[in-house]
A and B are shown apart, each in its own frame.
Chain A
Amino acid sequence: MKNLLGIPVSKGISIGFARLYIKRKIEVNDLKDSIPFDEKREVLEKALKKTKEEIELTYENLKKSNPKEAEIFEAHLLILEDPALKEKIDGYLKSGYNLPYAVKSAFDEFIEALKNLQSEYMKERAQDLYGILDSLLRNILNIPRIDLSNLPSQSIVVAEDLTPSDTASLDRKNVLGFVTEKGGPTSHTAILAEALGIPAVVGVKELFENISDGDELIIDGTLGFVLVNPTDETKNHYINLKKEKEEEEKLLKEKAKEFAYTKSGKRIEVVANIGSPKDVDNALVMGAEGVGLYRTEFLFLDRDTPPTEEEQFEAYKIVAERFKPHPVIIRTLDIGGDKQIPYLNFEHELNPFLGVRAIRLCLKEIELFKTQLRAILRASVYGNILIMYPMIAIKDEIIEVNKILSEVKEELRGKNIPFDENIKVGIMVEIPSAALNAEELVDYVDFFSIGTNDLTQYTFASDRTNENLSYLYRPLDKPILKLIKLTVDASHTKGKWTGVCGELAGDPQAIPILVNLGVDELSMSPSKIPEAKKIIRSM
């Protein structure tokens, strides 16, 4: 029995058999051959066609679930049809080189050209070209594609790393876990495993030296280790442990479907933080009674142009429909400063965290903001949507955004486009000035939601991304609790409510404190909901 250590990225225990996923490196020599040009050309056309079909399949599979990722493959198709690429290949063929070498050399020329360009985007495209070249060469040389779509049952995929196209074809039914040599907590493998809810360990060194195809494996995605060919005793221990944990989780999840009341009978609304419609299923399974924070910035990041109104409308509508009649709080665009996006020309700022972020940015980019408000309003007839503005510091900002909202409403009325006339509006309280002045701000909103991470950062004047200042991340210290209390009391005096949507809301230690301060709603990542409800019921 061997014990390998790695980084835990998706929790749980899996017991299964190793399926080694090794990509063979394709060797190409630079020899000339005597095969006629036309024959080589014919082989090339066939390989191009086959590669296109493979990419089309991936594209179709991905289009429904991940339209953004699918776009990458659309660009790949265009590359395979590129006349300049074919011209270069033909040039090498006419000089008598063998087909694989001609293809590789033509690609290399473009890869070099793209690599020499400054932008990160171009460097990534160069990376894409390696992938396309690899598929094309495989099809020219008739090397079969390693098949992740047809795995035997109880498979644990063992790989150097998994790329988006590897995982697009993955047979999800028979895969119990992932182990990879590369990758960290934000790697593609980690994200996919979390989304599928299967255990994964990444960053395991000397993986292929220690695991052979078919070996029995136990992986622990909570602690981050892999046991290879365990003894019967160890295996039985883990089978029991797995069973216990699953039962515990099942019970917790079942209970999570019901509302959570404290022993004194106060209901605390437990809702989810989500980033896209893809998160809805998991949130519902975990017992979310709505969405307390829908982070819309993910729609805007990693792309070259802002999302259209239609695109946003769809993303908001789906979530509203799925949670109906429960509330879905949509936070308007919260970016700027430290998060760069190419289509917004941010000015360089000395203090990005104190700069043009969130609502401050929206008040400068009015058209971008109005498009988002229009999309939210249009979606509001499909469920129970609330709007939340991030980073409000003073009353005048709320007055200003509410004015813009009225203008957008007026515009929709003029066009006879329906929306929820009584849509509720709230703000995030994450700057001390907002908390300290909550009694005045409350007159302009329907609710407050406290963002504990930023509130802590701004109260202690300490950048929360600065590792040297981690000792100042003190969200449960007196100053923060005072600010929370001020906010809660101000809202209750006017018959309104206050939630918490920061990290603290899902923290088992913090939940009793927040509830005792009078907080009405807790919004957290879905996986934390069952435990949070258990804690609320116990107090």
Chain B
Amino acid sequence: MLTKTFTVKNKVGLHARPAAVLVQTASKFKSDIKIEKDGRVVSAKSILGVLSLGAEKGSTIIVTVDGVDEVDALKTIEELVNNNFGDPE
């Protein structure tokens, strides 16, 4: 099981397209992927879960990955977050 903490840096936070991109990416992996914010934990493969976190710009999220492809999964998600989910900023 791997855990890493991130700060959401893109302007709109984890709304709409960024949330959809994250869910679509997470769903490609076999591992169980969870996101925690302010004590609430949701599956990164659930669009409704991710949206309901209300992670605005500047929020801290903790990603936990558990499964056969956990190393790859965490690396991919890290790239995605650092890339601002493909948003220009």
A residues near B (Cβ < 8 Å) are 74-75, 78-79, 82-85, 110, 113-114, 117-119, 121-122, 125, 129, 304-306, 342-343, 345
Give B6-55 interface residues, CB cut-off 8 Å to A: 11-12, 15-18, 20, 23-24, 42-43, 45-49, 51-52, 54
For residue A102, give the distance in angstroms from its CB to the closest CB of chain B: 16
A119 near B42: Cβ-Cβ < 8 Å: no
B48 near A122: Cβ-Cβ < 8 Å: no
Q: Across the two chains, which residue of chain B brings its CB closest to A76? A: B47
B11 near A343: Cβ-Cβ < 8 Å: yes
A113-B48 Cα distance, complex, nearest whole Å: 9
A121-B13 Cα distance, complex, nearest whole Å: 12
B residues near A (Cβ < 8 Å) are 11-12, 15-18, 20, 23-24, 42-43, 45-49, 51-52, 54, 56, 87-89
Which residues on B sit within 8 Å (CB–CB) of A304?
11-12, 15-18, 87
B15 near A343: Cβ-Cβ < 8 Å: no
Residue among B42, B46, B88 with the highest chain A CB neighbour number at 10 A = B46
What are 15 contact pairs spanning A and B, CB under 8 A?
A75-B16, A75-B47, A78-B23, A78-B24, A78-B47, A84-B45, A85-B48, A114-B48, A114-B52, A122-B54, A304-B11, A304-B16, A305-B12, A342-B11, A343-B11
B51 near A122: Cβ-Cβ < 8 Å: yes
A114-B47 Cα distance, complex, nearest whole Å: 12
For residue A333, give the distance in angstroms from its CB to the closest CB of chain B: 15
Which residues on B sit within 8 Å (CB–CB) of A83?
43, 45-46
Q: How many A-B residue pairs have CB under 8 A?
A: 65
Which residues on B sit within 8 Å (CB–CB) of A342?
11-12
Give 3 closest A-B pairs by Cβ, nearest first: A84-B46, A113-B52, A117-B54
B89 near A343: Cβ-Cβ < 8 Å: yes
B15 near A119: Cβ-Cβ < 8 Å: yes
Which residues on B sit within 8 Å (CB–CB) of A305?
11-12, 17, 87-88
Residue among B12, B23, B52, B54 with the highest chain A CB neighbour number at 10 A = B52
B15 near A122: Cβ-Cβ < 8 Å: yes
A85-B18 Cα distance, complex, nearest whole Å: 20
A13-B46 Cα distance, complex, nearest whole Å: 49
Which residues on A sit within 8 Å (CB–CB) of B42?
84
A526-B18 Cα distance, complex, nearest whole Å: 38
Which residues on B sit within 8 Å (CB–CB) of A343?
11-12, 87, 89
Which residues on A sit within 8 Å (CB–CB) of B48?
79, 82, 84-85, 110, 113-114, 129
A119-B16 Cα distance, complex, nearest whole Å: 12
For residue A342, give the distance in angstroms from its CB to the closest CB of chain B: 5
B11 near A85: Cβ-Cβ < 8 Å: no
Which residues on A sit within 8 Å (CB–CB) of B87?
304-305, 343
A113-B18 Cα distance, complex, nearest whole Å: 19
B16 near A121: Cβ-Cβ < 8 Å: yes
Which residues on A sit within 8 Å (CB–CB) of B16?
75, 121, 304
Q: Across the two chains, which residue of chain B brings its CB closest to A368? A: B88
A84-B32 Cα distance, complex, nearest whole Å: 12
Which residues on B sit within 8 Å (CB–CB) of A125?
51
B52 near A79: Cβ-Cβ < 8 Å: no
B54 near A119: Cβ-Cβ < 8 Å: yes
For residue B40, give the distance in angstroms from its CB to the closest CB of chain A: 9
A74-B24 Cα distance, complex, nearest whole Å: 12
Q: Across the two chains, which residue of chain A brings its CB closest to B18? A: A304
17 more CB-based (< 8 A) A-B contacts, given A78-B47, A304-B11, A305-B11:
A78-B20, A79-B47, A82-B48, A83-B43, A84-B48, A110-B48, A114-B52, A117-B54, A118-B54, A119-B56, A122-B51, A304-B16, A305-B87, A342-B12, A343-B12, A343-B87, A343-B89
For residue A477, give the distance in angstroms from its CB to the closest CB of chain B: 43
Which residues on A sit within 8 Å (CB–CB) of B56?
119
For residue B89, give the distance in angstroms from its CB to the closest CB of chain A: 7
For residue B12, give the distance in angstroms from its CB to the closest CB of chain A: 4
For residue B75, give the distance in angstroms from its CB to the closest CB of chain A: 22
CB < 8 Å neighbour of A84 from B11, B18, B20, B43: B43
A74-B21 Cα distance, complex, nearest whole Å: 12
